[in-house]
Amino acid sequence: MASSHFLCSHHVFLPSYNSFKKSQSQSQSHISLFKPNGSSSFHLNSQFKRVRAMASESNTPTRRQVEVVYNPEERINKLADEVDKEAPLSRLTLFSPCKVNVFLRITNKREDGFHDLASLFHVISLGDILKFSLSPSKTKDSLSTNVSGVPLDDRNLIIKALNLYRKKTGSEKFFWIHLDKKVPTGAGLGGGSSNAATALWAANQFNGCLATEKELQEWSSEIGSDVPFFFSQGAAYCTGRGEVVQNILPPVPLDIPMVLIKPQQACSTAEVYKHLRLDQTSKVDPLTLLEKISTNGISQDVCINDLEPPAFEVLPSLRRLKQRVNAASRGQYDAVFMSGSGSTIVGIGSPDPPQFVYDDEEYHDVFLSGNFDIVM
């Protein structure tokens, strides 16, 4: 039974599932990404249970120490290889990148209650690792993760995506999935949407590509508005609810560094939209913003997010955080803005966080990530 292991470095990501090229060997298939900057394999060492047992012999005073090592991943892999020997592969490990909204304009409220938007989405080199294995179960998927607070049932977008794939294709395959979570939740970075897109793509590989990637992208809009973007080539101008995806050439330097600062509190997207007032949004044509970025690069005046004012009403501390980052940067960042509906503040142009997030007690529990790039 073949297995696939996607290898990536910290700055290699999955901008487009079209980027993958599959090659077969006798026992293993490899899925590789164009323009890799290096590779490292991922292992669930944290899942290994190391048990020490003390064994003593009844007739001797000496005691012998025995170490028993239990590797659940190895057992799962063996079981997965036996599930369906005709399947194209039995195991798959993928990188699931997140995104930032370089600008986000809200242009209209629709009759269906959703809002029309126009936004420049771009993946960055922060993401989760998803490991898939075929399961012998004929009734449900099993999801595990390295963090608490993440739902493991059909509230999780990974499970929703796998259920959607089976509904659309008639596939009867179920999976063990382990999510190594690096992207914070409730951050406006699209981590859950990326996981859903990754799960759809993975299910298609396990089933011999029953669907085209165009079909996967179309289906993915049923899961969430951001999900179709993660079938793009990495940079896209997105309209509609976000599901209308137009691939574009990267409009900013690919090696531009950034800092992400997310407070412990999350912003509810529903609450943010509830506080949105269309008459107070920017009037700048989003295509003008896109043209300015393509011509002149990132600057504060083009990184407009119409969801910032309502998000700052929902979470006033977020406004203070952005103000403090701006004040402390002294020109260090080309732009400081909120991504999506929050609550991540992005500083573009430097990998170095402002000193106050280390010094002030108020920010000791923030998610802080530097040295990330906008990359293709």
Catalytic residue numbers read: 99, 226
Q: Is 82 exposed, middle or buried (0-12, 13-18, 19+ CB in 10 A)?
A: exposed
